[in-house]
Copies of this chain bind each other. A is one copy, B any other.
Amino acid sequence: MKPTITAFRNSPDRGKGLARDMRVRWALEEVGQAYDVRLQTFEELKQPAHRRLQPFGQIPTYEEDGLTVFESGAIVLHIAQQHPGLLPAEDPARIRAISWMFAALNTVEPPIFERSIAAIVERKEVWYAQRAALLDERVRTKLVELSQYLGDSAWLEEDFSAGDLLMITVLLRLQGSGMVEVHSNLAAFVARGVARPAYQRAFAAQRAVFEQSTSGQDAQSPK
């Protein structure tokens, strides 16, 4: 039975592949697992039906035969546990890759996410320029540390893993800032991830949702 994931009907990123369903789509494509998508409006995310699956009203969720998972990190871990290809089979390599999954989500993503949120919520505040500098500095520190660790390796550990997958989706949130490009090894790391056929298929699938919603809007308000 195909699993079903949820995604935004109208993603705030307008098809750029930055919403968190991308991580799950990419993981599913890496392991060759077909899936269905249930698109949700912001209104639907607040309803009890969705809250039962996702207590914080977020996307993505993952449902299969009597099992529901929420949080993109947990979903990617679940997929990696069910199929070969996203985690080394055994420790110590396996738990090392899992360490990188948590590092992506609990150490690197928070300052990057904070920076994105501030750009939306605080852009018009008088303090924004000064605070943006603080936020950028925190992100830069993480990038320096990550770049030093990566060195001239292709991936964070020996083979591509769910740790790389999550880290790359986190770094993609910095698109357009030029911050990743300061470190040529990090830029190459991200490019290497994005070039994977599984990423490309996942990107196309989420992009199609955006194209469809746009053409739908056009149909509703033709002009």
Contacts and interface: CB of A to CB of B under 8 A. Distances in A.
A106 B55 contact: no
B99 A70 contact: yes
Interface residues of A, number: 45
A109 interface: yes
Contacts of A66: 92
Interface in A77-116: 77-78, 91-92, 95-96, 98-99, 101-103, 105-107, 109-110, 113-114
How many copies of this chain does the complex contain?
2
A56 B105 contact: no
B55 A146 contact: yes
Interface in A29-80: 51, 55-58, 66-74, 77-78
Interface stretch (A8-16, A127-135, A205-213): A127-135
Interface in A144-167: 145-146, 148-149
Given A69-B96, A121-B134, A55 B103 contact: yes
Contacts of A131: 122, 125, 127, 131
A126 interface: yes
Given A127-B127, A131-B127, A145-B56, A78 B106 contact: no
Contact of A102 (B55, B74, B103): B74
A167 B56 CA distance: 14
A140 interface: no
A142 interface: yes
Q: Name the 6 nearest CB pairs between A and B, nearest first.
A: A127-B127, A71-B102, A55-B149, A73-B102, A67-B92, A74-B99
